[in-house]
Amino acid sequence: MTAIVVDKLTKRFGDLTAVDCISFEIKEGEIFGLLGPNGAGKTTTISMLSTLLEPTSG
Ligand SMILES: Nc1ncnc2c1ncn2[C@@H]1O[C@H](COP(=O)(O)OP(=O)(O)OP(=O)(O)O)[C@@H](O)[C@H]1O
Ligand SMILES: [Mg+2]
């Protein structure tokens, strides 16, 4: 069963696009990781999923 659906999630800080239109689904019980270099947008993504940050769109 699908637990989380992310659809075209985007976050901009002024002119800087921190998260650029990402989409993915996570199934119940699935272990899901975000990999990427410093500044790739991992923390921003998790902050939006956990409602600590308001998405720009998506
Ligand atoms: N509150 C904020 N205001 C302005 N820019 C921000 C803010 N938070 C993050 N950014 C910028 O957004 C981009 C993504 O940052 P983020 O912290 O999500 O990356 P990260 O993948 O978690 O990096 P790291 O591996 O260093 O933890 C970076 O360019 C960062 O400077
Ligand atoms: Mg981080």
Ligand nearest to the Cα of 39, by number: 1
Alpha helices in the chain (DSSP H): 42-49
The pLDDT value given to residue 56? 98
User: Closest residue (by CA) to atom 26 of ligand 1?
Assistant: 38
List, for residues 15-39, the tens digit of each pLDDT value: 999 999 999 999 999 999 999 999 9
Q: How sure is the predictor about 44, in pLDDT bands with cuts at 50, 70 and 90?
A: very high
Distance, CA of 20 to chain centre:
9
CA torsion angle 31 35 41 42 (round to 10) = 30
Q: Which helix (H) or strand (E) holds 33?
A: none
User: How far apart are the CA of 11 and the centre of ligand 1, in A?
Assistant: 10
Q: Which ligand lies nearest to the CA atom of residue 19 in the structure?
A: 1
Ligand 1 shell residues, CB under 6 Å? 13, 16, 18, 36, 38-44
Please name every residue paired with 4 in a beta bridge, in sequence order, or none if there are none.
26
